Structure 1
Amino acid sequence: MLLAGGIAQAAPAPSGSAGFVPLAPIPSLDVDRYQGTWNQIAAVPQPFNLECARDTQAKYTLTDPANVRVENTCTTWNGEQNNIVGNARVNDTVTNAQLHVSFPGVPTQENPEGPTNYIVAYIADDYSWAFVGDPFRTSGFVLSRSSEASPEKFREIRAVAESLGYNSCLILTSPTPGGAAGIQPLCTV
């Protein structure tokens, strides 16, 4: 669920500004279908994942109807494996698409109780990829079941991100096998 406080403001206007609309969840998330391993193929950079150079993944496992075990892994810049385990608590039982994610030892994310900081804002009909963010669009993650992503797929992702109110130039591709070979703004792919 790859989420923490953001370093870049990707929203059209900050909270409290006239015209600001928080990121909306999809109408209904099938949590059973959402479980499993996802590859991060693009993201708004976050302080907690700057050490991840490539192969970033999230594995979600339902622990009970209201909680999901979150295990994030990646390969660091010096080639080592990095992982962290946390919890995602469903805050919205109507859609199941708004959660609070917490990780022990991560500033601002240590408290397992808290406001929504993970919103599934888009999911493909076949659950092959999703766009996840927070209410203020300071974070954004493109998650895919496959690590592969063609230029056409990145153009589709860019269109979805922009339709959700994100600046696609603030979303960077994440190197994955068969996907992006390097890091570049989504607006240039």
Structure 2
Amino acid sequence: MAAGEVAAAPVPVPVTGPAPVPRLDLERYLGTWRQLAAIPQYFNLICARDTQANYSLDPQGNIAVRNSCITWVNTVNEIEGTAVVNDRETGAQLHVSFPGVPTQDSLEGPTNYIVTALGPDYSWALVTDPSRLSGFVLARAAALDEGAWQEVLAAITAAGQNPCMYLTSPTTGGESRIVPLCVR
């Protein structure tokens, strides 16, 4: 650099959110999903086991969401909400809202639910958000075989997340411990 020249400040590279799956078949995605692992979130700290999400179409063509779990005092905790598809090209980016929950009570809004990976038979799914601060491993069954877990771990890494941030979710008929996925 010549005397008197000023070095240009580096241009920050924008951080992009994780890529959604190329195409989500909503009809196949609807139904009950069991949470097998998750990045802990304030809203699911009450859940001790058997965390589930049930998705169905509502009369407006949106997705009715019913999340439930068994609490630490052995009661059922439930919340109902709505998911709106924000990305018509892939169908895999949605805005999920829950009435009465701060920051999540508006029916319309930015994407906060991205399906980033799916088992080829829709037996498991990886869901996160644009900031990658949340993450959920969902499955149709209470447990996955080792091959599927390897696919899930690869998908978590491909989404720009660390598998050690995910903790297993106790599920009747599946995992009984709470441990980081990287040591599962």
Q: Deviations over 1:41-91 (max 9, x none)?
A: 001111111100100000000125751000000000111100000000011
AA partner of residue 85 (structure 1): E
SS at structure 2 position matched to 1:48: helix
Look up the match of 1:93.
88
> Which of 37, 43, 47 is equivalent to 1:52?
47
Q: What amino acid maps onto 1:83 in structure 2? A: E
**1:166: which partner in 2?**
161
The answer to whether 1:31 aligns with 2:21 is no
Query: 1:96-111 residue pairs with structure 2 within 5 A?
Result: 96-111=91-106
- Which ranges in structure 1 are unaligned for 5 or more consecutive residues? 1-16
1:130 equivalent in alignment to 2:125: yes
Work out which of the two has the higher radius of gyration on C-alpha atoms and give 1 or 2. Answer: 2
C-alpha distance in structure 2 between counterparts of 1:19 and 1:59, whole Å: 35
Task: State whether structure 2 residue 53 is matched by structure 1 residue 69.
Answer: no
1:83 corresponds in structure 2 to 78
Query: How many angstroms does 1:113 deviate by?
Result: 1.0
What's the CA shift string for 1:115-147, capped at 9, x where partnerless?
000011011111111001101101010110001
Q: Which runs of 5+ in 2 are unaligned?
A: 1-11
What do you get for the CA RMSD once the two structures are aligned? 1.5
Aligned residues: 173
Taking structure 1 as the reference length, the TM-score comes to 0.87
1:121 aligns with 2:116: yes
Amino acid at match of 2:117: Y
Q: Which has the higher contact order (CA 8 A, sep 6+)?
A: 1
Q: Would the aligned equivalents of 1:40 and 1:144 in 2 still touch at CA under 8 Å? A: yes
Query: Within the alignment, does 1:182 sit opposite 2:155 as a pair?
Result: no
Alignment partner of 1:141 is 2:145:
no
| 2:5 equivalent in structure 1 | none
C-alpha separation between the residues in 2 aligned to 1:21 and 1:180?
33
Question: Percent of aligned positions with the same letter in both sequences?
Answer: 54
